[in-house]
Structure 1
Amino acid sequence: MESVASLPRTKIVRHELFLILLLASIQFTNIMDFMIMFPLQDYFLKQFQIDTAMFSLVLSSYSFAAAIAALIGANFIDRFNRKSAAIFLYVGFLVGTALCAVANTYSFLLFARIIAGIFGGMVSGVILSIIGDVFPIEKRGKAMGGVMGAFSAASVLGVPSGIRIAMSSGWNYTFAFIVLLGLPILVLAILYLPSLPSKMEKQKVADFSQLINVLSKRDHLVALAFFMSVILGGFTVVTSIAVFMERNMGFSKTQVSHIYEIGGICTFVSSWIVGFMSDKFGKHKVFLILVLLALLPILAITHLPKDLPVYMALGVTTVFMVLVSGRVIPSMAMLTSAIRPEVRGSFMSVNSSLQSVATGIGALLAGAILVQLPNGTFERFDVVGYFAVGFNLLALYLSRKVKIVS
């Protein structure tokens, strides 16, 4: 297969599209593994007899494990071929997901999520680095939009399928399903991912110079803080939507799956549109518009009245998913363009680490704010929404300080 890196740069061509789809497939299983935890929350609360705070610990354990691994990996990741790193990390992720499939106690599930987080968090950073290395800035928004479409595909196909498997066979089988999906993707990655050798000079002794190099520059710190704010602006709300809809709005588990199906279909389409618009009109401008628009469904979804018809509630969740996920596309394109190629892998590993920290903080924050009443419903979801709005406004402010260098 012809090297993707050598192809013409005027438009997205067939070989580049294949690479986008392959990277998106890796992300699909990775995102599905993370997202499926949200709608399965009710199963875990009942089977393990835990509260929302303990469930938040399971969510955040994945995130914080990913954060620590990515932070350590930032010192070494640019010294390896991108393809080799991606394959190694994806294998580790599949092993961690397989452990989730056989978990039968709360403590074992916690352990399994840590293993999945260690590898799953790092593989995302490598995938984004591959996009930054292969695609020039004028096409990076489209490429990022395509890979971000994995979120939509996971919502449309992955999460609803996982919910139905859990309903018919048990939640353990949902994780086994993810592993079965991942195995042929792993084979394709081995065969077709482009070889992207390290651009660093050979070093015999590993040290923390790369991490220091990334964290010592003010522009890097601003970019990292910016993306953490973007993630917190969504995940403080996302982590509790499914259980809130079940307990407070009276949604059935089938109706919860509709949230991901309908929202995912719309997001799949909008991801490509947002990527195109980002390249055409500028990343900063599109991000500004999407953030301001996203504030409305964030406030709406955290203030839903109990007597709201199901179709109207689904409309709110769909707009929420489209706009909140849409913000990530121009912000990630800005992020990958703010770093020089020779340190992009290390920077993206640090970013993956802090992104995981942000998702963990978001889960813990939501778990700490929400209060479960004796009848099983939750209150103070509106407070969670106010925090999300604050994080989005902070991201908006920081976005003006992110400088594009490549």
Structure 2
Amino acid sequence: MESVATATRSKTVTNEIFLIFLLASIQFTNIMDFMIMFPLQDYFLKQFHINTAMFSLILSSYSFAAAIAALVGANFIDRFNRKSAAIFLYSGFLIGTALCAVAHTYSFLLIARVIAGIFGGMMSGIVLSIIGDVFPIEKRGKAMGGVMGAFSAASVLGVPSGIRIAIHFGWNYTFGFIVAIGIPILAFAILYLPSLPSKMEKTPIADFSQLGKVLSDPAHLRALVFFMAVILGGFTVVTSIAVYMERNMGFSKHDVSRIYEIGGICTFASSWLVGFLSDKFGKHRIFMFLVLLAILPILSITHLPQDLPVPLALVVTTFFMILVSGRVIPAMALMTSSIRPEIRGSFMSVNSSMQSVATGLGALLAGAILVQLPNGTFERFDIVGYLAVGFNLLALYLSRKVKVVS
């Protein structure tokens, strides 16, 4: 009997690891599709003859489209099997990314990003809902850390590969690359994602009561504002790092690729560690610790002297990526644990909407603050850094208002 129990536990662990890997793979392509826009910014500025504000519109169009789709989806997402919803949304995301691959004008690319945003933005909410449904709270931090490792993998493997493809073949091929690796992931999702039927009673699709349940609870609103502050605390800076390093610091495109490679390798390891520490010492405590530490690289990266050697600049960018991405893991675990299971999907869909609003707002704020000089360099990046610090301190305050219920 003991050997049977041991084998059962081993199989359960294996299945859990595979599920985390599959969900992380979905997030990998989703995150890469979004992140690759940052290092490709210089290509867009030159090819389409646009300024940073117009580029910010491309970023924010994706985010705001995702926000609207997620908000609408919150009304019915819990009425569907999680697996069916994930497959549908991931298929739409790949179609939108394929349109980016064939875009040849600014307007076409803008429309393609909106389509990708509609499906990609809701995708994150479904992934997090699956984690919340499958993993008990004592394992949720590790599961979140594993899926958040997709950010690191996108940094280490996806973004650098996308940059190299853009250098040798053109930026359109970078999006084609994402579609090429996304198709087999979709096949695995169809075959192996667990079926998670709706826990809700059957109600009309047009019923907006589920959205009302999410937005009428003050605890939910606190959690939503908290996570928006977390996103703004990093995203206001993240949007401009690549182009700032190229124009102001003299980085080559290969140097920019190294930012994501080195930072991604380190955050891949740190994501699992942060997830473990969050489970062991508490989500609130680890979040506070990481936020306070993250202020240092935020201020450093936005005040770099132009004569700083590339290796030292890479040290700063690496610590920035480790700590800024690390904050999100305990924040995610806190948030998913503050929602009752029967409305978790709807809440996470609303949260995806608010997260997208935060990313779009962050892009617009950074684009509005940064000023491009006649020589092509940018100024006022320091102001962007101060703004990010303010959002982090707000998130730290709000984290104490988020209460765990499940």
TM-score bin (small chain): over 0.9
Q: Is residue 383 of structure 1 aligned with residue 380 of structure 2?
A: no
Partner of 1:360, secondary structure, is helix
1:147 matched to which residue of 2? 147
Distance 2:65 2:76 in 1: 17
What is residue 366 of structure 1 aligned with on the other side? Answer: 366
2:37 alignment partner in structure 1: 37
Moved more, 264-273 or 203-212: 203-212
- 1:288 alignment counterpart: 288
The aligned runs of 1:2-401 (5 Å cut-off) are 13-401=13-401
Does the 8 Å CA contact 2:75/2:205 hold for their aligned counterparts? no
Read off the aligned partner of 2:216 and give its amino acid letter.
Answer: S
Write the letter of the residue equivalent to 2:339: I
Q: SS at the partner of 1:257?
A: helix
Distance in 2, matches of 1:141 and 1:9, equals 19
Q: CA deviation at 1:295?
A: 0.2
What TM-score do you get using the length of structure 2 for normalisation?
Answer: 0.97
SS of match in other structure, 1:304: coil
The CA distance in 1 between the partners of 2:127 and 2:387, in whole Å, is 30
Identity, % of aligned pairs? Answer: 83
Answer yes or no: is the 8 Å Cα contact 2:76–2:205 preserved in 1. no
Deviation at 1:207, TM superposition (A): 1.3
The alpha-carbon distance between structure 1 residues 264 and 340, as it changes in their structure 2 partners (threshold 3 A), is: same
Q: Which amino acid aligns with 1:206?
A: A
| Alpha-carbon offset, residue 12 of structure 1 | 7.5
Q: By how many angstroms is 1:206 displaced?
A: 2.4
Instruction: Report how far residue 10 of structure 1 moved.
Output: 11
Letter in 2 for 1:343: I
Q: Distance in 1 between matches of 2:397 and 2:318?
A: 26
When residues 74 and 8 of structure 1 are mapped into structure 2, their CA distance, relative to the original with a 3 A threshold, is: farther
Q: Secondary structure at the match of 2:157?
A: helix
SS at match of 1:240: helix
Matches of 1:118 and 1:206, distance apart in 2: 19
Partner residue, 1:3: none
**Cα offset, 1:24, TM superposition:** 0.1
Q: Deviations over 1:65-91 (max 9, x none)?
A: 000000000000000000000000000
Q: For residues 83-124 of structure 1, give each alpha carbon's deviation from its aligned partner in whole angstroms, at most 9, with x where no partner exists.
A: 000000000000000000000000000000000000000011
> Quick check: 2:75–2:210 contact (8 Å CA) kept in 1?
yes
SS at match of 1:204: coil
Report the number of matched residues: 400
RMSD, matched Cα: 1.2
Opposite residue 305 of structure 1, the aligned amino acid is P
> Is there any run of 5+ residues in structure 2 with no aligned partner, and where?
1-6
Contact 1:9 1:136 in 2 (8 A): no
CA shift in 2, pair 1:341/1:193, >3 Å: same
- Conserved? CA contact 1:11–1:139, under 8 Å: no
SS at match of 1:239: helix
Mapped to 2, the partners of 1:25 and 1:218 lie a distance apart of 34
Q: Post-superposition shift, 1:205?
A: 4.7
- Structure 2 CA distance, aligned partners of 1:394 and 1:8? 45
TM-score between both structures, scaled by the size of structure 1 = 0.97
| CA offset digits 1:17-52 (Å, max 9, x no partner) | 000000000000000000000000000000000000
CA contact (8 A) 2:68 2:353 kept: yes
2:335 and 2:153 map into 1 onto residues whose CA distance is 23
Q: Report if aligned partners of 1:93, 1:116 keep a CA contact under 8 Å in 2.
A: yes
User: 2: CA distance between counterparts of 1:147 and 1:61?
Assistant: 25
1:195–1:43 distance in 2 versus 1, CA, 3 Å: same
**Match of 2:198, SS?**
coil
Q: What CA deviation, in whole Å up to 9, does each residue of 1:287-342 have, x standing for no partner?
A: 00000000000000000000001100000000000000000000000000000000
Q: Which amino acid aligns with 1:370?
A: L
Contact 2:299 2:382 in 1 (8 A): yes
Q: What secondary structure sits across from 2:103 in the alignment?
A: coil
User: What amino acid is aligned across from residue 28 of structure 1 in structure 2?
Assistant: F
1:204 Cα deviation (Å)?
3.4
Query: Structure 1 CA distance, aligned partners of 2:118 and 2:394?
Result: 28
1:12–1:139 contact (8 Å) kept in structure 2: no
Which residue identity does 1:121 align to in structure 2? G
Once residues 269 and 149 of structure 2 are traced to their aligned partners in structure 1, the CA distance between those partners, rounded to angstroms, is 8
Distance 2:55 2:237 in 1: 15
Question: 1:203 Cα deviation (Å)?
Answer: 1.1
Opposite residue 156 of structure 1, the aligned amino acid is V
Q: Per-residue displacement from partner, 1:363-403 (whole Å, max 9, x unpaired)?
A: 00000000000000000000000000000000000000001
Could you tell me which amino acid in structure 1 is paired with residue 206 of structure 2?
Answer: A
Shift of 1:9: 8.6
Q: Distance in 2 between matches of 1:47 and 1:193?
A: 41
